[in-house]
Amino acid sequence: MFKLHFKDATIWRNMIASVEKILDEGVFAATPDGISLRALDTSHVVMIDIFYPREAFIEYEVEGERVDVGISFSVLSKILRRAGKNDELVLGVEGNNLLVEFRGRGSRLFKVPLINLVYEKLPEPRIAFTVKAKMLGSIFRDTINVVKLVADSITFKAFEDKRLLIQGEGDIASTEIELSLEAQTLLEMEVESPDSAKYSVEYFTYMTSASRVADIITIQYAEEAPIKVDLEYTGGGRLTFYVSPRAE
């Protein structure tokens, strides 16, 4: 038995739109506490971690200790793109299909074939971060949209005055761009060490869809370590990306 009823289908539409650009398929694990997914991309550069607590749902029914739902993200994303602005989302399982229902002005029901995948519980990365910056989702999205215009790499550099410099560098004509997020622009800034770290910008462009519906985004990193980008959603949901540093 598996049935989830969520008020705003567009949140899941935007989340999965970002996930499908990184993961081909994966297994959602639904437990009495909530629904989660943790998976690595095929290149092992990015880990995605999703969790939505049961309290965030209008209706949440899971039979037993865990129900595994294996799906293709590209197929699921195509269905979720049909979600309207005021649609509610209902997910269920019937036989070998995931049922995706949109409830708004009427009801629309889709069946997505389940994939037989083995659930693997990956450990959460343990990283000693030295910089933490918390910002509105709109600030993050606007920053990435500017950097991606000219850059193929993105560098985060923190300063002791709690300023975060974001630099983009491109191979074509040695293009560069710098954006400085001052302390007053950020909701929170912690600098244990004024470190800098560089990553491939493409993975951050993949996050912009999910950032459209995120309330708060928190970035944590350390020099020569993976960066953690945590997107927070209404009801306590979160979508987290761990991105390995760019190899030079």
Confidence of residue 173 (pLDDT cuts 50, 70, 90): very low
pLDDT at 168: 86
Q: Count CB neighbours of 59 within 10 A.
A: 10
Residue 137 has pLDDT above 80, yes or no: yes
Q: Report helix, strand or coil for 171.
A: coil
pLDDT at 146: 87
Q: Report helix, strand or coil for 148.
A: coil
The DSSP symbol for 186 reads S
pLDDT at 105: 81
pLDDT digits (tens, 9 = 90+) for 176-227: 556 677 777 889 999 999 999 999 999 999 999 999 999 999 999 999 999 9
**Mean pLDDT of the region 39-47:** 95
Confidence of residue 21 (pLDDT cuts 50, 70, 90): very high
DSSP 22-90: T-SEEEEEEETTEEEEEEE-TTSSEEEEEEEEGGGSSEEEE-SS-EEEEEEHHHHHHHHTT--TT-EEE
pLDDT at 119: 84
State the CATH class of domain 2-113.
Answer: alpha beta
Which pTM was predicted?
0.93
**Mean pLDDT of the region 122-145:** 93
Q: Please check whether residue 198 is in contact with residue 247, taking contact to mean a CB–CB distance below 8 angstroms.
A: no
* Residue carrying structure tokens 């974001």: 166
- Where are the domain boundaries for CATH 3.70.10.10 in the chain? 2-113, 131-243
CATH of region 131-243: 3.70.10.10
Q: Report helix, strand or coil for 12.
A: helix
**Mean pLDDT of the region 166-182:** 69
Kindly report the average pLDDT of the chain as a whole number. 92
30, with CB counted inside 10 A (0-12, 13-18, 19+), is: buried
